[in-house]
Structure 1
Amino acid sequence: MDQDGGTPILSVAGMRATIRLNRPSVHNRIEPEDLRTLIAHFAAIDADPAIRVVIITGTGRSFSSGYHLGDLASRPAAEVTGEASFEQMLEKLENLRAPVICRLNGGVYGGSTDLALCCDFRIGVDTAEMFMPAARLGLHYYPSGMVRYVSRLGLNAAKKLFLTAEKIAAPEMLAIGYLTEMVPASELDARVDALADRLAAMAPLAVQGVKRSLNEIARGQFDVPAALLRAKESQASEDLREGLAAFREKRVPVFKGR
């Protein structure tokens, strides 16, 4: 077996899909061959209507040390162009149908900080840390990543992280909104499970539609007619009738995604 592990692993259990980055000896660095694997995993998840929540995590002590930039000087367009670029992979992650929880089991660095921002929730251990070294390396970041940083964290935090390449610890990650929740390592799995169970119990058509609309708003690309169409479709859904009936009858709703 390769001592560095291998490509990311996808597992599915009921309504939950889990993707685990799997190169612990290099802190789950994302290699070029991992991009196609991740894109294939995302396609498989979107093709399975039974999946209502996705978890992304890392193997070992770190979440991820980012994308492998070792030979970037010899491939200057690799990060933003091509059939399976890092930016394209992140776009597909951000646009996954189901909500995504990033289980930050440790430090997150470089491009993987943007990978985590593509997720809808980030629950991290209180020993986590992050930094964005692009400027220190002489790299101007790709456009969609900068948009995510500013829209999720605000201009001041984005400037600090991008322009100084300063490392920040979990409490500051929580304060700037990078972390949705900060927990001791002993509580990480319980908190991720609780959020995953809650998301899976929601009406999937409503959750997925609202997620898409909110992401469009954050990018400044809100498609109002499409959002209104999704709203009308939800009003005609079996799930809405079930939700209203459950509310009246004071019971837990059972949604079927239709």
Structure 2
Amino acid sequence: MSAAAETQAETAGAVPSLAVEGARATIRLNRPRHMNRIEPDDIPVLLRLLDTVDSTQPVRVLVLTGTGRAFSAGYHLGDLADQTEGGGSDAGVPSFEALTVRLEACRVPTICRLNGGVYGGSTDLALACDFRIGHTGIEMFMPAGRLGVHYYEAGMRRYVSRLGLNAAKRLFLTAERVDAAEMLRIGYLTELAPPEELDARVDALAERIAEMAPLAVQGMKRALDEIARGELDRVMLEARQAACGESEDLKEGLRAFREKRKPVFQGR
């Protein structure tokens, strides 16, 4: 098989995939030969998968990960170059920024399982998740300044709100490569694990979240993200608080506390 044919065959089977097991959903990037770079055609697929997660009520937590040695090399630079030379973007294809905004708005808490290095736009894709767990061999790199790319607003807001202004300036304005220990220190990683413990740490966090009261957890996730953006919708916040106050989950949580047992929440 020629190199072109091999690339075509790989691309045909390289779209992101979704697996649902009970309360946990997993979206996986499947282009390891190219370090799981995000192609333009991947964006509508990922948006549909996120819609599926949101509409599947038993799902209470989403894990986003990659296949192979990298989490993701970010948005395909070849496509970015074509857009620049052609003077425009791909007609009808949602932007990478739209994907990150949609991921941040996912109904359920999200965990990014950083199986390897995270580069370019995918550093923001991971930041759009609620938690990031990586292993000691990973690194991150934001090359926008080195490439002459002015980054989009939503991504810069996420960097500043999650990492602070100093760290955001350091990463955007110097294009410095940062190792796993430093990623943890600046708050990019929620948790750092030895490579052999990565899956166990991700599983433990996913299971813990799945055991929480979903109405309360999902409502607080939304409120916290709105507060971080300075866009808190107080009317909707009060409506969610009222719904939790009248929920069967609250009654179950209080019963379980009195009976010294683990609660079993139904999300209603």
Structure 2 unmatched runs, 5+: 1-5
2:27 counterpart residue number: 19
1:243 counterpart residue number: 253
Choose 82-91 or 149-158, whichever is displaced more. Answer: 82-91
Residue pairs, 1:1-258, within 5 angstroms: 2-3=9-10, 6-76=14-84, 77-78=88-89, 83-258=93-268
Following superposition, the deviation at residue 82 of structure 1 comes to: 5.2
Following superposition, the deviation at residue 53 of structure 1 comes to: 0.4
Measure, in 2, the Cα distance between the counterparts of 1:118 and 1:153. Answer: 12
Measure, in 2, the Cα distance between the counterparts of 1:85 and 1:24. Answer: 22
Measure, in 2, the Cα distance between the counterparts of 1:74 and 1:251. Answer: 59
Q: Name the aligned partner's letter for residue 218 of structure 2.
A: Q
Q: What root-mean-square deviation, in Å, do the aligned CA atoms of Structure 1 and Structure 2 show?
A: 1.4
How big is each residue's C-alpha offset from its partner over 1:108-167, in whole Å with a ceiling of 9 and x where there is no partner? 000000000000000001111001001110010000000000000000000000000010
Measure, in 1, the Cα distance between the counterparts of 2:258 and 2:82. Answer: 64
Q: Compute the TM-score of the two structures, normalised by the length of structure 2.
A: 0.93
Measure, in 2, the Cα distance between the counterparts of 1:192 and 1:44. Answer: 22
Aligned length: 257
Q: Name the aligned partner's letter for residue 83 of structure 2.
A: R
Measure, in 1, the Cα distance between the counterparts of 2:105 and 2:196. Answer: 31
Measure, in 1, the Cα distance between the counterparts of 2:79 and 2:43. Answer: 16
Secondary structure of the corresponding residue to residue 166 of structure 1:
coil
Asked whether the equivalents of residues 143 and 172 of structure 2 are also in contact (C-alpha less than 8 Å), the reply is: yes
How big is each residue's C-alpha offset from its partner over 1:45-76, in whole Å with a ceiling of 9 and x where there is no partner? 00111000000001011100001021324425
Secondary structure of the corresponding residue to residue 99 of structure 2:
helix
Asked whether the equivalents of residues 41 and 93 of structure 2 are also in contact (C-alpha less than 8 Å), the reply is: no
Measure, in 2, the Cα distance between the counterparts of 1:224 and 1:106. Answer: 39
Asked whether the equivalents of residues 135 and 195 of structure 2 are also in contact (C-alpha less than 8 Å), the reply is: yes
Measure, in 1, the Cα distance between the counterparts of 2:100 and 2:22. Answer: 25
Following superposition, the deviation at residue 90 of structure 1 comes to: 1.1
Q: Compute the TM-score of the two structures, normalised by the length of structure 1.
A: 0.96
Measure, in 1, the Cα distance between the counterparts of 2:114 and 2:62. Answer: 14
Following superposition, the deviation at residue 89 of structure 1 comes to: 1.0
Q: Name the aligned partner's letter for residue 224 of structure 1.
A: R
Q: Name the aligned partner's letter for residue 153 of structure 1.
A: L
Secondary structure of the corresponding residue to residue 223 of structure 2:
helix
Measure, in 2, the Cα distance between the counterparts of 1:217 and 1:83. Answer: 30
Asked whether the equivalents of residues 72 and 118 of structure 2 are also in contact (C-alpha less than 8 Å), the reply is: yes
Choose 120-129 or 69-78, whichever is displaced more. Answer: 69-78
Measure, in 1, the Cα distance between the counterparts of 2:71 and 2:79. Answer: 22
Secondary structure of the corresponding residue to residue 202 of structure 2:
helix
Measure, in 1, the Cα distance between the counterparts of 2:179 and 2:82. Answer: 33
